Amino acid sequence: MAQVPLSIKLLLGILAVALTVCIPAKAAAQRAPLGWTVCNETSFIIETASGRYEGQGIVVDGWKRLRPGACELLLEGALNPGIHYLFGRSSLAHRGGRRIWGGDSKLCIDPTGSFSVETLPDCTVMGLEEREFRPVLIESRNRWRTTFTETETRTLEQASAAGVQRLLDNAGVYSGRIDGHLGRQTRAAIGDFLTSKGLNANTSDGDLMDILEQAAVERSRNVGLTFCNRTDNRIWSAMARRRGEGWESRGWWLLEAGGCARVIDEPLLQAEHFAYAEMEAGEGQVRTLRRGSDPFCVSRSKFAITGREACEAAAFRTGQFVATPPPTNRKLVFEFFERDFEGSGRAR
């Protein structure tokens, strides 16, 4: 199946173009490059890190960027069968905080840029941070393929189209469905975006995604509510605000140490917003906000709750939120510091 650039699909006014070639599966596999290949069947740009055993330790490398619908070699050449490790995080261009693809194996990473490190019992010794990787059992010395997926099952071509739709939405030029099908609304949005940037209709899929990603990141700086973690521990955050005539609370957004997440992706038009957070304190304990005084409902898992009364009667619990300062120029960055949390923890 050969992919056709989205810009050409737009130019020709068609939904999809495919060329099917009958090749025996064995022959196709033999043509694939030697090594460990990772493919992205999601609608998100994913930044990946991988780990492998070398000597007595595990070497972790990052970051390799995977566009939606793309495949990349993480390890080139002959492979050593056995356990390897994989971690993925979505690009900052995507709204709603970073999505994570991981597991339960804790390894060291540098969240700020490219790195290659041998993982340590204590990541902070080298100024690194800990993340939970997914173990991957590689059973071949020649070729192995691992795939990032979402709830929806997509082909690589559908993932590419869905990725462009999501990036168009994140850049503020598309509000339709993210379904992996290039309908009239998607094609019109692509055309409008290319025209606004002075780009040619033959701009490649990859270039289009890269430019959209930059536009989405720039847009995210100018609107919405962002939470930032200024502590050395993980924080789980939630927000509350007025919605129509009532109230709404939403969570959770995971904030790694030093990390940020955009929790509202639209211009802030009024001042009543509230923040809540629970800091991981080890051994299943959490530390809650010290100065929270505004009660809203929260849940153990991801939630969106309308109303703020009788939380326990509705099988939720009450969290004491804090009021944020009013937004400035339609945006607000709210920071959590060590001093904001109680000194002792409770079971989460």
State the pLDDT at residue 1.
Answer: 36
Whether the upstream peptide bond of residue 252 has omega within 30° of 0, thus cis, is yes
State the pLDDT at residue 345.
Answer: 58
Helix (H) or strand (E) holding 132: strand 129-138
Coil vs helix vs strand at 64? strand
- The 8-class DSSP code of residue 55 comes to T
Token readout for 262 is 């955009």
Helix (H) or strand (E) holding 12: helix 6-12
CA distance 242 to 226: 17
State the pLDDT at residue 223.
Answer: 77
pTM > 0.85: no
Each residue's pLDDT tens digit in the chain (348 positions)? 334 444 434 333 333 323 233 334 444 445 678 999 999 999 999 999 999 999 889 999 999 999 999 999 999 999 999 999 999 999 988 877 778 999 999 999 998 889 999 988 888 788 888 899 999 999 999 999 999 999 989 999 999 999 999 999 999 899 889 999 989 999 999 999 999 999 988 899 899 999 999 998 888 777 788 999 999 999 999 999 988 788 999 999 999 888 888 888 777 877 689 999 999 987 778 899 988 889 999 998 889 899 999 999 999 999 999 999 988 888 889 999 999 998 765 655
Treating both helix axes as pointing N-terminal to C-terminal, what angle do 205-220 and 184-196 enclose, rounded to 10 degrees?
A: 80
CA distance 167 to 6: 13
Coil vs helix vs strand at 259? coil
CA distance 160 to 111: 26
Asked if 222 and 331 touch (Cβ cutoff 8 Å), the reply is yes
CA distance 176 to 166: 9
State the pLDDT at residue 344.
Answer: 61
Q: E-strand spans in 139-208?
A: 143-148
State the pLDDT at residue 25.
Answer: 41
